[in-house]
């Protein structure tokens, strides 16, 4: 039997332990390393394990580490102070840290928890039928 393209990609990414990004049908992005997979689900390993149904996967790609090169400063820019005395920074702006945006795929997402609950029920039903 011939192994399909998705299985070959998953096997290669799993063996090389490459970080991947999975985009689901509903445009949610999930990143992590492939821990295991079968014909129905893919288990991703990041800060926790996530189960993704294969029929919900829209695309799979290797995560590329993007390095942002800092531009070289000219000598005139290096000698200037970073904060201008005529532009004071308000104390309110200094006290409040900037919060990064939350990623779209969170653990409290009803989609992920519903899929996990459904899979657990199915597995318990399979175990009970044996």
Tell me the pLDDT tens digit for each residue of 29-84: 999 999 999 999 999 998 888 999 999 999 999 987 654 455 555 555 555 555 55
The DSSP result for 39-77, as a single string, is SSEEEEESSSEEEEEGGGEEEEEEPPPPP-PPPPPPHHH
**Could you tell me the residue ranges of all domains in the chain?**
1-64+110-130
Report helix, strand or coil for 108.
coil
CA distance linking residue 99 with residue 95, whole number of Å: 12
Instruction: Select the more confidently predicted residue: 24 or 100.
Output: 24
pLDDT band at 130 (very low <50, low <70, confident <90, very high): confident
Q: What percent of the chain has pLDDT over 90?
A: 37
Please tell me the pTM assigned to this model: 0.48
Mean pLDDT of 11-35: 93
pLDDT of residue 90: 56
Q: CATH number for the 1-64+110-130 domain, one of 2.30.30.100, 3.30.460.80, 3.65.10.10, 2.20.25.10?
A: 2.30.30.100
pLDDT of residue 82: 57
pLDDT of residue 15: 94
């Amino acid at each position: 039997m011939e192994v399909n393209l998705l299985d070959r990609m998953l096997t290669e990414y799993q063996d090389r332990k490459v970080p991947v990004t999975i985009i689901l049908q509903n445009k949610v992005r999930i990143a992590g390393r492939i821990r295991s997979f079968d014909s129905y689900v893919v288990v991703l390993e990041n800060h926790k394990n996530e189960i993704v149904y294969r029929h919900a996967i829209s695309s799979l790609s290797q995560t590329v580490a993007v390095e942002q090169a800092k531009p070289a400063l000219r000598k005139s820019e290096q000698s200037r102070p970073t904060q201008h005395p005529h532009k004071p920074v308000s104390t309110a702006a200094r006290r409040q840290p900037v919060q990064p945006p939350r990623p779209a795929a969170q653990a409290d997402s009803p989609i992920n928890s519903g899929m996990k609950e459904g899979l657990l029920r199915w597995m318990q039903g399979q175990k009970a039928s044996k």
